[in-house]
């Protein structure tokens, strides 16, 4: 059996970005399915290049009423209590059978899948909406396989839908071996730590740093999420230790008050590529629950030829050679010392960054990840 169609089931995080990119595409037939700011964009490109047809079901679109992308707003995590948080908390306590909108979304997914006839359903993590019963029905009716991706520990950060559906997953992809073991305990048939993040040579291209806004130029830069504290306290503490450096922070979400003076806005898609290309050193610290594995930024920085100082996680050394492609830090003083050293040694820093770029281009591309997924699922 050879797969030909993959249906992505995910949450659209940056609808405004996708709308803008669709409007900028003159040919409606070639309009993008995913915004360039989501990793699904590069996964989708890799699947297409491997000969797959792709489609997407945005599970955060409402079941009733206006289901256009324009009806959504960009998700921003606020540390304060908001009406949206209160409503979401209340709805999680309501049984699915008593939520008409939720039932309607699941029905719409069934209808779209029946039309598209996917051989593979790709389910992204943080799934609050699609019920295990719907996934079981899709697999039974369409005889398709189910691929699930999750970037956090299922013990710390997952939903009942995701845990209950674990025995239905034909393959779970994780970035951390410890998370993989937890999914096995929940009943997943097959788990792989690829990691599932990578780079696209045609997208992750180093950007020139001439004629860029001064705000992009800094010694140390960080792009990513810093809240909530239960997931990113170690990341915040590392950046706090660098407040006497020329530090720039870009985040879509709230920033802790201690780091607010260094916040320079947000960077998505092409702007993220420009920001990372413009900083001298990227500070790359993982989330608190990522004890072994690696994050997307590790590969993005490498592909962009950006030198990075990374917190010491075992998986980092499995993907790159420490001291040849990048360096890690053990504590805050070590981080500060290495930041000072490599800011003072431009040539050494640039040589390592270029070596990391060549390594990422050779070994950590999305087309290689797709080939491995096909192998794990028995394609061909």
Dihedral angle sign, alpha carbons of residues 14, 15, 16, 19: positive
How far, in whole angstroms, is CA 111 from its chain's centroid?
27
- pLDDT bucket at 89, cuts 50 / 70 / 90: low
Output the six-digit token pair for 114. Answer: 């029946």
pLDDT higher than threshold 70 for residue 87: no
How far, in whole angstroms, is CA 197 from its chain's centroid?
7
pLDDT higher than threshold 90 for residue 281: yes
pLDDT higher than threshold 70 for residue 250: yes
> What burial letters (b/e) apply to 222-241, b meaning 16+ CB within 10 Å?
bbbebbeeebbeebbebbeb
pLDDT > 70 fraction of the chain, expressed in percent and rounded: 95
pLDDT higher than threshold 90 for residue 236: yes
pLDDT at position 88 = 62
The widest CA-to-CA distance across the chain, in whole angstroms, is: 63
Intrachain domains 5-198+365-376 and 214-363 with the same fold: yes
pLDDT higher than threshold 80 for residue 92: no
- pLDDT bucket at 69, cuts 50 / 70 / 90: very high
Average pLDDT over residues 239-245: 98
pLDDT higher than threshold 70 for residue 1: no
Average pLDDT over residues 181-203: 96
pLDDT at position 81 = 63
How far, in whole angstroms, is CA 285 from its chain's centroid?
15
CATH 1.10.3720.10 fits 214-363, yes or no: no
Output the six-digit token pair for 7. Answer: 């249906």
pLDDT higher than threshold 80 for residue 60: yes
- pLDDT bucket at 96, cuts 50 / 70 / 90: confident
Instruction: Tell me which long-range contacts 250-253 makes (C-beta under 8 A, separation of at least 24).
Output: 250/221, 250/222, 250/223, 250/224, 250/275, 251/223, 251/224, 251/225, 251/226, 252/74, 252/76, 252/225, 253/76, 253/77, 253/78, 253/225, 253/226, 253/227
pLDDT at position 73 = 82
> Domain ranges in the chain?
5-198+365-376, 214-363
Q: State the average pLDDT for the chain.
A: 94
pLDDT higher than threshold 90 for residue 361: yes
Query: What are the beta bridge partners of residue 250?
Result: 223
Q: Which residue has the higher pLDDT, 79 or 166?
A: 166
Q: Which of 24-33, 107-116, 146-155, 363-372 has the lowest mean pLDDT?
A: 24-33
Sheet holding 120-124, edge to edge: 53-58, 5-10, 120-124, 145-149, 171-174, 191-193
Which listed CATH number (3.30.1280.10, 3.40.50.2300, 3.30.365.10, 1.10.10.10) goes with 5-198+365-376?
Answer: 3.40.50.2300
pLDDT at position 30 = 86
pLDDT at position 173 = 98
- pLDDT bucket at 84, cuts 50 / 70 / 90: low
Task: Determine the Cα–Cα distance for residues 180 and 185; give it in Å rounded to an integer.
Answer: 9
pLDDT at position 85 = 55
List pLDDT tens digits, range 132-189. Answer: 999 999 999 999 999 999 999 999 889 999 999 999 999 999 999 999 999 999 999 9
Residues 6+ apart with CB under 8 A from 224: 235, 250, 251, 297
| SS3 at position 145 | strand
Task: Determine the Cα–Cα distance for residues 192 and 183; give it in Å rounded to an integer.
Answer: 10
Average pLDDT over residues 103-116: 98
């Amino acid at each position: 059996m050879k797969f030909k169609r993959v249906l992505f089931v995910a949450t659209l995080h940056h609808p405004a970005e996708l709308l803008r990119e669709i409007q900028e595409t003159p040919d409606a037939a070639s309009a993008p399915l995913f915004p360039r700011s989501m990793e699904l964009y590069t996964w989708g490109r890799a699947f297409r290049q491997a000969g797959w047809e792709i489609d997407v079901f945005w599970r955060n679109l409402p079941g009733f009423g206006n289901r256009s992308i324009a009806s959504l707003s960009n998700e921003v995590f606020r540390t304060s209590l908001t009406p949206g948080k209160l409503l979401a908390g209340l709805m999680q306590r309501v049984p699915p059978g008593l939520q008409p909108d939720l039932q309607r979304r699941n029905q719409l997914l069934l209808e779209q899948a029946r039309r598209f006839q996917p051989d593979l359903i790709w389910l992204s993590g943080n799934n609050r909406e699609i019920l295990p019963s719907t996934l079981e029905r899709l697999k039974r009716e369409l005889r398709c396989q189910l691929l699930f991706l999750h970037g956090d520990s299922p013990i710390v950060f997952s939903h009942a839908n995701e845990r209950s559906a674990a025995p239905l997953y034909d393959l779970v992809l994780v970035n951390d071996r410890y998370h993989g073991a937890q999914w096995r305990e929940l009943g997943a048939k097959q788990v792989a730590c690829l990691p599932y993040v990578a780079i696209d040579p045609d997208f992750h291209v180093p950007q020139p740093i001439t004629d860029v806004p001064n705000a992009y130029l800094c010694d140390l830069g960080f792009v990513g999420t810093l809240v909530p504290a239960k997931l990113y306290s170690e990341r915040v503490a590392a950046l706090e230790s660098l407040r006497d450096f020329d530090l720039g922070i870009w985040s879509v979400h709230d920033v802790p008050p201690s780091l607010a003076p260094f916040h320079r806005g947000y960077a998505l898609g092409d702007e993220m590529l420009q920001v990372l290309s413009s900083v001298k050193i990227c500070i790359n610290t993982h989330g608190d629950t990522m004890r072994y594995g690696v994050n997307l930024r590790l590969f993005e920085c490498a592909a962009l030829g950006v030198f990075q100082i990374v917190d010491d996680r075992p998986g980092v050394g499995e993907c790159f050679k420490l001291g040849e492609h990048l360096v890690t830090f053990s504590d805050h003083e070590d981080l500060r010392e290495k930041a000072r050293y490599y800011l003072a040694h431009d040539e050494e820093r640039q040589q390592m960054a270029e070596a990391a770029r060549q390594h990422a281009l050779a070994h950590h591309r999305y087309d290689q990840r797709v080939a491995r997924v096909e192998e794990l699922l028995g394609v061909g």
